Structure 1
Amino acid sequence: MALIEISDEILGTFVPIAVYWLYSGMYMLLDGWDEYRLHPKGEEYVKNVVSKRTVVKGVLVQQAFQVAIALLLFKIIGDETGTAPTQPSTAVMIVQLLVAMLVMDTWQYFIHRYMHINKFLYKHIHSKHHTLVVPYAFGALYNHPLEGLLLDTVGGALSFLVSGMTPRTGIYFFSFATVKTVDDHCGLWLPGNVLHLFFQNNSAYHDIHHQLYGSKYNFSQPFFVMWDKILGTYMPYTLETRKEGGLEARPVKMD
């Protein structure tokens, strides 16, 4: 029996969604490791004002929009070229991935920061994401649909187009971006996390942003912290052990 061939465009659309739920599921299995939590377990139920069921529904809505836009984008590109793109060399692919990361970081930093500066956008759009004061893994993409469309979907499309990557490379890029986003919202600081070796933008860094004292800092996501440092919105932190157990990312006072 012949195997069904699935196009890179279809894989690039649906693999990151599968990665999102599988990687989030892994973190939920580790949720009982209280010694590595950035917040005591009880705070999740006290400070977060939406249920996990509501969060799941919200994420699924955003992912439905992502699927629609991705399929439309791939169709337009396919109609224009008429042929399947040739996969570039490894060196070229690495450059494309780096360009895509920089484009996504730049887009998300400025849109994200503006959503905090503009009181109307924050109140009616971005505040939905900040209802998760205590972040957890599968809440990473819990946003207002308009924010999800503008910040993530449009940002992803720009990263794809500007970098010139192929749909196959897009599978790797969007899957990794998904892993990184989930990791930054997981609410845990696990020892040996290899992502912490390469990226300062991590779960503790982003947890600072989700707290009231850090809402005007640490806008960068999902990869680097360069725009925060360049534009003065960088809030450093130290990881301290809580008396009641677990860890806490505490801001360091800046001069």
Structure 2
Amino acid sequence: MVFWEGYLSDEAMGTVAPIVVYWLYGGIYQLLPPLDHYRLHTRKEEEEKNLVPLSKVIKGVLLQQLVQAIVAQTLFWLVPWEDSSGVTIQPSLLVRLVQIFVGMLVMDTWQYFVHRYMHHNKFLYRTIHSHHHRLVVPYAIGALYNHPLEGLLLDTFGGAISFVISGMTARTGVFFFCFAVVKTVDDHCGLWLPGNIFHLVFQNNTAYHDIHHQLQGLKYNYSQPFFPIWDILLGTYMPYILRRRPEGGFEARAVKD
């Protein structure tokens, strides 16, 4: 039993919930007080370095989410989970957790190699992936600001492949996709908050991804959104140190061998 049962189907919830969670979680970050003592970049840097206005970022994210919703509904329609009686059998909690973990690994693998290729292919970087890097100083609701084609290839297809290969049901997919959205937003929030569970559990976190958005880290730290496995295995991992800035806040500084 889940709280939306009787009101929305699992398929509808799996389509709508990640979008709602994105704007709720990202909006919380956006509406927080300045929190300058926890920022990885100053507000002045954000204003001077970012090359796209907030209004355009919001429009870009909404376009990507529209495409995601269409693909999600199509996917749920194409992948039947009902038995002969028309009832979807939900697996045990352990099986669901294993499916979510498999989905995380599949998503990481897909996004690593597509993301890395978009950096190494000059045409793709210049015409497509550079849109995301217009936010030199990332912030929460800009996490899904991409060229529409990149949003389709990297995030939407990556999510669909993870869902299919892991074998999860639509109900499990609700939790998986919402978790992936929260993690992605957190990685782009630009804040190093004390007690943030993602910073404690995941090595791939806000500072890790911030290095990738810096000039010296463009060809490193491609992994997203969960684990740095592929970066470590394929030599694209760039460690970092966090330093306190005299004027307040933190600085994530790359550590090169």
Find 1:108's aligned residue among 111, 127, 136.
111
In structure 1, distance between residues paired with 2:119 and 2:83:
40
In structure 2, distance between residues paired with 1:173 and 1:79:
17
Long gaps (5+) in structure 1:
none
Q: Does the 8 Å CA contact 2:244/2:250 hold for their aligned counterparts? A: yes
Find 1:30's aligned residue among 22, 29, 32.
32
Q: Does the 8 Å CA contact 1:78/1:84 hold for their aligned counterparts? A: no
**Cα shift readout 1:120-161 (whole Å, capped 9, x = no counterpart):** 000000000000000000000000000000000000000000
**Cα shift readout 1:74-98 (whole Å, capped 9, x = no counterpart):** 1112399673421100110111011
Partner of 1:172: 175
1:202 corresponds to 2:200: no
Segment of structure 1 superposing worse, 76-85 or 90-99: 76-85
Partner of 2:227: 224
In structure 2, distance between residues paired with 1:239 and 1:219:
19
Give how far 1:253 is off. Answer: 1.9
Instruction: Evaluate the alpha carbon distance shift between residue 251 and residue 121 of structure 1 in structure 2; reply closer, same or farther with a 3 A threshold.
Output: same
Find 2:240's aligned residue among 237, 240, 243.
237
Segment of structure 1 superposing worse, 160-169 or 245-254: 245-254
Aligned partner letter, 1:85: T
**Cα shift readout 1:179-222 (whole Å, capped 9, x = no counterpart):** 00000000000000011121001010000000111000000000
Superposed CA RMSD in Å reads: 1.4
Find 2:191's aligned residue among 166, 177, 188.
188
- Aligned residue pair count: 252
Find 1:50's aligned residue among 42, 52, 67.
52
Instruction: Evaluate the alpha carbon distance shift between residue 31 and residue 39 of structure 1 in structure 2; reply closer, same or farther with a 3 A threshold.
Output: farther
Instruction: Evaluate the alpha carbon distance shift between residue 79 and residue 206 of structure 1 in structure 2; reply closer, same or farther with a 3 A threshold.
Output: closer
In structure 2, distance between residues paired with 1:245 and 1:5:
47
Aligned partner letter, 2:63: V
1:249 corresponds to 2:248: no
**Cα shift readout 1:15-39 (whole Å, capped 9, x = no counterpart):** 0100000000111122500000000
Aligned partner letter, 2:40: L
In structure 2, distance between residues paired with 1:77 and 1:84:
14
Find 1:95's aligned residue among 93, 98, 121.
98
Aligned partner letter, 1:18: V
Q: Does the 8 Å CA contact 2:83/2:89 hold for their aligned counterparts? A: no
Partner of 2:79: 77
User: What secondary structure sits across from 1:78 in the alignment?
Assistant: coil
Long gaps (5+) in structure 2:
none
In structure 2, distance between residues paired with 1:222 and 1:121:
21
Q: Taking every aligned residue pair, what percent have the same amino acid on both sides?
A: 65
Q: Does the 8 Å CA contact 1:27/1:186 hold for their aligned counterparts? A: yes
In structure 1, distance between residues paired with 2:81 and 2:171:
17
Q: Does the 8 Å CA contact 2:26/2:140 hold for their aligned counterparts? A: yes
In structure 1, distance between residues paired with 2:245 and 2:199:
21
In structure 2, distance between residues paired with 1:71 and 1:236:
39
Structure 1 stretches of 4+ with a deviation exceeding 6 A read: 79-82
